[in-house]
Amino acid sequence: MPPPALLFLSLPSPPQPLLLVQHRKAPQALILNLPLTSSRKPALPARPVASLAPAVATLQSDWTRKQRIRRQGGLSCRFSKIVSYYGLTTPPYKLEALEPYMSRRTVELHWGKHHRDYVECLNKQLASSPLYGYTLEELIKEAYNNGNPLPEYNNAAQVWNHHFFWESMQPEGGGLPEGGVLQQIEKDFGSFTNFREEFISSALQLLGSGWVWLLLKRNERKLSVVHTRNAISPLAFGDIPIASLDLWEDDRRTYITNFMDHLISWDTVTLRMMRAESFVNLGEPNIPVA
């Protein structure tokens, strides 16, 4: 990538038209001939280009150093700053709306602190990263790097996972889904009871922090339940997440059953399934989701 073009300002004696000309020794630079319109003072003579050499050298040196820092994936105090790139999204309900199954204090801790920290750390990394400018989903896939994650991966995946998790719940949720979603679950798991038991079992098998997902497997063209450790996102493998649960509670069985019986948003699941069907042919019988 060439250094940024430089603009030299020349103030010749009037009158003469505006003209952009290419500098003889610096083809990437343009010289702007600008007439002076005021008649009170004579036009200033053009500044010798040679006098700008130290400033030009400094700009080029800074630019070169910044590019080197970006290639190395590190941070420099001079260029390290939080940029307004990824923001902290608000859950689609009041913070106390999930009580008594998830307390306001719990939401404030995991959304207001942990989720916020991931957003701020990711933006700090992207301030000096060549991955700046990707959508969050693209960033996760790129930074996963075929199983050798780049430094940006963990924070990017945690930001996306948390946002997806908050939208997987709603006040007075849980229970049985309706329509095509229920039919698809019965088709792929045998019954809703089988699905519920598999979801709970998969969550209980995971030791430590992580996630349990209901997702649509592209290759198998069916719904499946999986769990992932730490920040791993199914997006990295090309699958389509439909619902998720963040696993952190000590009393995990109660936490998981509360999610299934009282919190999971089947309205959101329906919308996600409708979107997923535009990417994956679920085969016969053709089950309408909505």
Q: Is the peptide bond before 100 cis (omega within 30 degrees of 0)?
A: yes
Q: What per-residue confidence (pLDDT) applies to 290?
A: 65
Q: How many CA atoms lie within 13 A of 168 on its CB side?
A: 20
CATH fold for domain 179-277 = minor pseudopilin epsh fold (3.55.40)
Would you state the structure tokens that stand for residue 172, as one six-digit string? 């007075």
Sequence spans of domains, the chain: 7-72, 179-277
**What distance separates the 2 farthest-apart alpha carbons in the chain?**
90
Q: What per-residue confidence (pLDDT) applies to 285?
A: 67
Q: What per-residue confidence (pLDDT) applies to 1?
A: 52
Low pLDDT (below 70) residues in the chain: 1-85, 284-285, 290
Work out the mean pLDDT of the chain and round it to a whole number. 78
Q: What per-residue confidence (pLDDT) applies to 289?
A: 74
Q: What per-residue confidence (pLDDT) applies to 169?
A: 98
Answer whether 264's CB lies under 8 Å from 168's CB. yes
Would you state the structure tokens that stand for residue 229, as one six-digit string? 């450790």
